[in-house]
Structure 1
Amino acid sequence: MKHVYRLALMLGLWPLSISAQYSQSFDSATLPSDWTIINGGDTGTWKTWTSYDSTFSASHSGSHFLGLEYGSDAHSDYAISPAIVVTAGVSDKLTFWGRNRGAGLAEIVDLKISTTTPTAAAFTTTLASAVKPPVTWQQYTYDLTPYVGQTIYIAFYSTTTDIWFIGIDDFVVSSNTLAVSEAAADKKSISIYPNPVGDILTIESKNKISEINIYDMTGRAQKLIAPNSGTTKITMSDLSAGNYVVKIKEGSTEKSYKIIKK
């Protein structure tokens, strides 16, 4: 599969909306035509691989993955996604898988964001710095909510010198909120009611909630609460009627839910 633009149909509590999600598994001998590669350092550059050696011999899925090999001179290399329109509840989460060839000489990459063009000078924002995957495939997840309403490019950026080899696979931009079926399955651990809500929203969890954020559909933060308990009540009467995303953090886990304010 070279790449897939997926039409996400948002049903249930939301008005009907259709928006594109994106996935790329790099399953070709050539780089995807919608990706931009900038090789600003040594001769080594981002390309697709089926394997690197007998130790790093397989992609996370499919036949190929994106990889970058060491060079004796410093990298200044970008692998840049196509333009992505970040839409709340549709395309506001990034996931990908990464791994290194060796732990002792592990490659690191920065994740960079451009809101203008896929050029090196435009990547002035860092989504994550010094990402260093282990020697087995590991999934990484990043929140794109701050970019809701914007068109962005996402880049893997390497500046390492004489290290070893890094692989990237299964790059996906998708929904940061739970679907209706997922929310139903999650009811045993977290309850949010009433929904639609008028004045007071109650959130109950079997675990301790460390942080609650409420965003409007443009991605603007409306409320930040740090209850440090399993139950909290949030005043909603000061918010305008409409759709909101509630993000709940329990330890290292963060989940998002859709609500309606009456």
Structure 2
Amino acid sequence: MWKWLHPYAKTENAYALCNTLLPWFWAGTCVFLSVGVVWGLVFAPQDYQQFESVRIIYIHVPSAILSMGAYVAMAVAALVGIVWQWRTAFMTMIAIAPVGAVVTFVALFTGAAWGKPMWGTWWIWDARLTSELILLFLYIGVIALYGVFDDKQQAGKAAGVMALVGVVNVPIIHYSVVWWNTLHQGASISKVDKPDVADPMLWPLLICLAGFAFFIAAVSTVRLKSEIVRREMHRPWVQKLVSNDGVSSDAI
């Protein structure tokens, strides 16, 4: 089942895969994000209760959903690294972590900006908001723990364990509006059979979601390429790559 993945345990193959995927990720980002944002912010109808303030959903909802998605991806990379001892998996994990942290911060910030006119306050210790804040702390914890160790293989193992333990927070975030009485509204677009969002607002929201996903993938891939080059600078293939690009090794 996992045989197709095994070649990418080699950093050279992983780097080549990054080069293959990156143009597609950037293309998807440009197409979906530009269409979704323009459609949502300019042409989509306003809400009959929230009026124009509802347009923040085209930023807030994708960032909130993908803050959890990025964490799951990071945890999967950590699991692969711990089980099969792949350096490339740990590199992927730490490449995703800062991107996920920024996306989580965007979700919290836009949620606060949305909460002020709707709830009358910037912040409340609501179950959904609190668990999302914990997610941000988990991202920061993984990044900090990885940076403590000089041996990056050991750093990957330690940070990977933390990432795996923290994944329990993801279902808590998702089901917090069901398990507790919260101010935050319940699930909307995750109701696949009948979403609570009207089609004229749902389609630009889904396109924005795809655009954000492509953007996170693109930035994480760029970070992974940089991490591979930095960690593998002593390898002949990296030296050849650097010399072909006309960049001194001291500059990387």
Considering the TM-score relative to the shorter chain, is it more than 0.5?
no
- TM norm structure 1: 0.26
Q: Which has the higher strand share?
A: 1
